[in-house]
Structure 1
Amino acid sequence: MQANQVHRLRVWSAVHKWTSLIATLFLLMLCITGLPLVFDDEISDWLNPPVIAEVPSGTPAPTLDTIVATALAKHPGDVMTSLGFVKDRPAVVTHSAATPRAPLSQSHRGTYDLRTGKPTDLQAQRRGPVMTFIRELHTDMFLGLAGALFLGAMALLLIVAIISGIVIYAPFMHRLAFGTVRKDRSARTTWLDLHNLLGIVTVAWLLAVSVTGAINTLHDPVADAVRADIFRMGKTYGGSAPKQLTSIDAALATAKKALPDGKLVSFFFPGAGFSTPHHYAIFARGNQPITSQLFYAALVDAETGELTRTYEMPWYAKALLLSQPLHFGDYGGLPLKIVWALFDFVTIVVLGSGLYLWIAKWRRARKSRIAIDAVQAA
């Protein structure tokens, strides 16, 4: 090996060592907390199983106009501000308040069965306190945006560590057959071979998870940018409050024709949330594995029921929304989640073995220095 090649290898080795060391403890935390989060939906359903009562066949489904009228009758003087359609549950959550812009804490909330129109306790999937704690620790370490961005920086260090690890592993491959683990050597050599083998086997997965993890830490800034974008759209197409509201069901029918087939997410009334003073704002997800992660919106004239315009999220918001399920293996159901969990476990071994190798090397170097000092002092 030429001198310049040796020098480059030493530089890459130093980069790999220090990027790995700086990020290892945090990455271990992320991998350990990420393991149960891969099965977040399954654990939440197990701890809080949904109880969906049967409805006799032939029961006529009520209109949303009827449900809204029922909700408003309970709170005279209120105006409806929004409807939220419960994911994977036949229910809608209503919010009403004295004014369209009233804080959420001052609104009246109700949940109604879409099949019967009656009040129900059928709620969205609920995450227990333990899983909530684990998720917050994993996403921002309870430090908000600052914690999320810090973990994003750790993810970037992991990417550098992975790339540098590939570079220094290449010459190692010339000396040994792929998959060789020298069990007849010292424990440190055995763990070095395992560290290299497991690291190179999981390299593609590690890159995918680290890149999507870094993107996910930008959730709050991206959400703020999209919110500002929608508000700007609202100002462009704003107007006076409608003299009379058109049918909610008719507005939904108009929006469905303009948006990709999928599931309704939310419905904002004029002057509330993401709507304009004159429009209904209707949000939905697509019905394909990819589009189901994305939001689409439509502005419908609340007085005439005519479509004003549709809204599609910008590329950076799409990148974020598509990276979130990929980060946790939530694209292919339970089989893919199991694969993700296995890779996560292997990564814990890779990180732990890397930490062990550094400590073992540091101890050996320390013993050598002590022995040299003792000889020099004699």
Structure 2
Amino acid sequence: MTALFSKDTVRRGIAAHSAIGLVCCALLYLICVSGTAIVLYEEWQRLEQPSAPEMESIAPQAVERAIANVAATEAGQTPTTHLYVHMPTEALPRTTVTTDTQAVHVDAQGAIAAPEENAWAEFLLGLHYTLNLPPVLGMTLVGMFGAMIVALAVSGIVAHPRIFRDAFRLRARRKDDVATLDWHNRLAVWTLPFALVIALTGAMIGLFYVSGASLAETAYDGDGDAALAPVFGAEPEGDAAPAPFPRVAPVLDYMNREYPGVRVSYLILHDPGTRGQHVQVVGEHERRLIFGEYYAFAADGSFKGTAGLADGETGQQFAASIYKLHFGNYGGLPVKIAYIVFGIALSVVVTTGTFIWLNKQARKGRPRPVIRAGWWGVTIGVPVAILATLLARLTLGNGAPFAAIFWLVTLAMVGGAILRSRQAGQRGALAPTRGFAP
């Protein structure tokens, strides 16, 4: 019977299959490494711009002046659709006003101090969130990899019934495949709860766009805001007619008076300068995993109610809790350190898993030196590329092309490792065999 494909075609197919697998593993590794780095998101911002004014708190009247000062710089331009005021928090004690066109730091009196310059931290966040791809495509892909980690963790437990019994058996001193396997299995066990939490919440966040868009299309006639309203609250009807900016000092005074245990993290003006404008406050609750509760106010400062993220339906509270669980921005520095340690361990689990597969292939007589070299390039190249972007930020400034630098350095590391492997293989093929007599 004639074979459907020639042997050469089959070999090429196997090589392509292996290369695709390597790319998937590389992206999974990249997500783990970048996620570990972004745990220090606020700290990176402070490193990038150490001269920005910092404060433990800011007076309501100063916030109002800051908004007026920023609005004055945009007079005559297209009105911004949203104006955000980042209030000082423990992790990032700065006040920053952001519109559709600019972001500036302000001092404790509300005067504009300097433009916000945190492009490198934003690059890291985008790398982890979207892999520098268009948002919907990137977040969907990252969400799928989150689901993949869950599948890998569960299947790993099923495939190794003694994995928990041998949780502290580590033959690290051995210089063979056994040590690699032990490191992989032990770290996988020690990080299992963390990996499941991170993977599940990452999958939920990443697949949010797909599930939200599908829900909007099927149940809300394509209205995305209506689809999200049961969780995050509904938007009032807009009115584009011009109107003075709302006063926000009474809003902040109300929060301080009526909710003294809530720390305001964001103040949001929706459609400012129009009759349809309204004010929204994001308030953090101590000892809660929710990112915050939404407090709604009318343009005249009257309180309209909350969205229910703190005390509403169980699903609402759960949806508001996945962000802190995923990024580790709760519990202060000790929790962040724990997330970094576990994140490094999870990255090692991913990279050793690929080496274990390569070792098995070699034992079966199917060594893959090029793929092994490429994987070494990925393992070393991703952290080196991130470091290269940081050096670019410190030397070239906020406008450095971080995404281009990252991918060029990563590809150069992978390509260099593969080239060295092929050159070594050619030298081995040309070298005389030991003991051979012509």
Q: TM-score range by the shorter chain?
A: 0.5 to 0.7
Q: Who is 2:307 aligned against?
A: 311
Instruction: Calculate the TM-score normalised by the size of structure 2.
Output: 0.59
* Correspondent of 1:193 among 168, 176, 182: 182
Identify the residue that residue 283 of structure 2 maps to in structure 1: 285
Q: How does 1:216-231 map to 2 (within 5 A)?
A: 216-218=205-207, 220=209, 224-225=224-225, 229=229
Give distance in 2, aligned partners of 1:277 and 1:348.
51
User: C-alpha separation between the residues in 2 aligned to 1:258 and 1:352?
Assistant: 51
Shift of 1:80: 9.2
What amino acid maps onto 1:364 in structure 2? Answer: R
Give distance in 1, aligned partners of 2:64 and 2:126.
Answer: 38
TM-aligned CA deviation for residue 359 of structure 1: 0.9
**C-alpha distance in 1 between matches for 2:263 and 2:354:** 47
Residues 276 and 30 of structure 1, relative CA distance in 2, 3 Å threshold = same
Displacement after TM superposition at 1:133 (Å):
2.9
Q: How does 1:193-342 map to 2 (within 5 A)?
A: 193-218=182-207, 220=209, 224-225=224-225, 229=229, 232-235=234-237, 248-254=248-254, 261-263=262-264, 265-268=266-269, 272=271, 277=275, 280-290=278-288, 293-300=291-298, 302=300, 305-313=301-309, 318-342=317-341
Match of 1:133 among 105, 123, 134: 123
Equivalent residue for 1:3? none
Pick closer, same or farther for the CA change 1:316–1:188 going to 2, 3 Å: same
Tell me how far apart the structure 1 counterparts of residues 95 and 153 of structure 2 sit (CA, whole Å): 46
Partner of 1:163: 154
Distance 1:315 1:215, change over 3 A: farther
- Length-normalised TM-score, structure 1: 0.67
Amino acid of the structure 2 residue aligned with 1:250: P
Q: Write the distance in 2 (CA, Å) between the matches of 1:350 and 1:158.
A: 11
Q: Give yes or no for contact 1:301–1:308 (8 Å, CA) kept in 2.
A: no
Aligned pair count? 322
Alignment match, 1:93: 97
**Per the alignment, in what secondary structure is the counterpart of residue 286 of structure 1?**
strand
What whole-Å deviation, never above 9, does each CA across 1:170-216 have from its counterpart, x for those lacking one?
24667xx5422346878122322222122111111111111121122
Secondary structure of the residue that 1:49 maps to in structure 2?
A: coil
Shift of 1:320: 4.7
- Report the alpha carbon displacement of residue 138 of structure 1 after superposing the two structures with TM: 1.4
1:282 CA drift (Å) = 2.6
Q: Deviations over 1:256-306 (max 9, x none)?
A: 66667321522426xx16x9845632322224243672241213263xx54
Q: Check conservation: 2:143, 2:206, Cα contact below 8 A.
A: yes
- 1:208 is paired with a residue whose SS is helix
Q: CA deviation at 1:119?
A: 3.9
Asked if the contact 1:285/1:292 (under 8 Å) is kept, the reply is no
SS in 2 for 1:312: coil
Mapped contact 1:212–1:326 kept (Cα < 8 A):
yes
1:34 is displaced (CA, Å) by: 2.1
Query: Aligned in 2, Cα 1:226/1:35: closer, same or farther, shift over 3 Å?
Result: farther
Q: CA deviation at 1:45?
A: 0.9
CA–CA separation in structure 1 for the residues paired with 2:51 and 2:126? 24
Deviations 1:45-81 (A, max 9, x none): 1221144389xxxxx9856666666666777779897
SS at 1:34 equivalent: helix
**Which residue matches 1:28?**
29
Relative distance call for 1:158 and 1:75 in structure 2 (3 A) is: closer
Q: Give unmatched runs, 5+ long, in structure 2.
A: 1-20, 214-223, 368-438
Higher relative contact order (CA 8 A, sep 6+): 1
Name the CA distance, whole Å, in 1 between partners of 2:72 and 2:23. 59
The one-letter amino acid paired with 2:195 is L
Does the C-alpha gap of structure 1 residues 49 and 226 become closer, same or farther in structure 2, counting only changes over 3 Å?
farther
Residue 163 (structure 1) shift: 0.9
Equivalents in 1 of 2:74, 2:346: separation in Å?
54
Q: 3-state SS of the aligned residue for 1:85?
A: strand
Percent identity of equivalent pairs? 21
Is this contact kept in 2: 1:156–1:211, CA < 8 A?
A: yes
Deviations 1:216-273 (A, max 9, x none): 21455669547963795413xx78979988854335444666667321522426xx16
Alignment root-mean-square deviation, CA: 4.3
Question: Cα 1:294–1:70, aligned 2, differ >3 Å: closer, same or farther?
Answer: closer
State the partner residue of 2:113: 120
The CA deviation string for residues 306-337 of structure 1, in whole angstroms up to 9 with x for no partner, is 43444335766654542223223221222222
SS in 2 for 1:268: strand
| 8 Å CA contact retained: 2:201, 2:325 | yes
Contact kept, 8 Å, 1:255 with 1:298, in 2: the verdict is: no
Paired letter, 1:215: M
Kept in 2: contact 1:188–1:357 (CA 8 A): yes
In the superposition, relative to structure 1, how do residues 232 and 208 fare at CA in structure 2: closer, same or farther (>3 Å)?
A: closer
Contact 2:146–2:200 (8 Å) recurs in 1? yes
SS of the equivalent of 2:364 reads helix
* C-alpha separation in 1, matches of 2:97 and 2:122: 22
Q: Does 1:343 align with 2:332?
A: no
- Say if 1:69 and 1:37 are closer, same or farther in 2 by CA, change over 3 A: closer
CA distance in structure 1 between the partners assigned to 2:71 and 2:182 by the alignment: 68
1:98 match = none
Task: Classify the secondary structure of the residue corresponding to 2:341.
Answer: helix
Code of the aligned partner of 1:85: V
State the SS of the aligned residue for 1:216. helix
Q: Alignment partner of 1:282: what SS?
A: strand
